[in-house]
């Protein structure tokens, strides 16, 4: 899984990069077919925004979150992606 992190009006520090990598390792355990992840972190006045697009073998999944703290925004965004990946996995594994 390749994780690409970009920042708008924000410098990506090693701590942010390590936090993002540790969170996306958790997602890779749920679903093995994640090929690319593009994470965009941005700052607009006092709001920290984190958004990500996952490219799976059968779909693209998008999630975003706005918080006052960037680390909290990343955590909530990863939780949203986790729920969507589990739903996608259940949908593809249901065979009648």
Size (the chain), residues: 96
Chain segment 3-39, per-residue pLDDT in tens:
899 999 889 999 999 999 999 888 877 777 777 899 9
Check residues 85 and 73 and name the one with the higher pLDDT. 73
Residue 21, H or E segment? helix 14-30
Rg (Cα) of the chain, in Å, rounded?
A: 14
Cβ neighbourhood burial of 84 (10 Å; 0-12, 13-18, 19+): middle
For residues 88 and 31, give the distance between their C-alpha atoms in angstroms, rounded to a whole number: 9
Domain 2-93 listed as CATH 3.30.160.100: yes
Domain boundaries, the chain: 2-93
């Amino acid at each position: 899984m390749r994780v690409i992190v970009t920042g708008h009006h924000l410098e990506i520090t090693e701590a942010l990069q390590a936090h993002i990598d540790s969170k996306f390792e958790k997602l890779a355990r749920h679903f093995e077919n994640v090929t690319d992840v593009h994470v965009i972190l941005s700052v607009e006045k006092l709001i920290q925004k984190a958004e990500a697009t996952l490219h799976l073998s059968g779909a693209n999944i998008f999630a975003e979150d706005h918080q006052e703290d960037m680390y909290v925004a990343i955590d909530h965004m990863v939780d949203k992606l986790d729920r969507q990946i589990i739903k996608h996995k259940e949908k593809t594994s249901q065979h009648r």
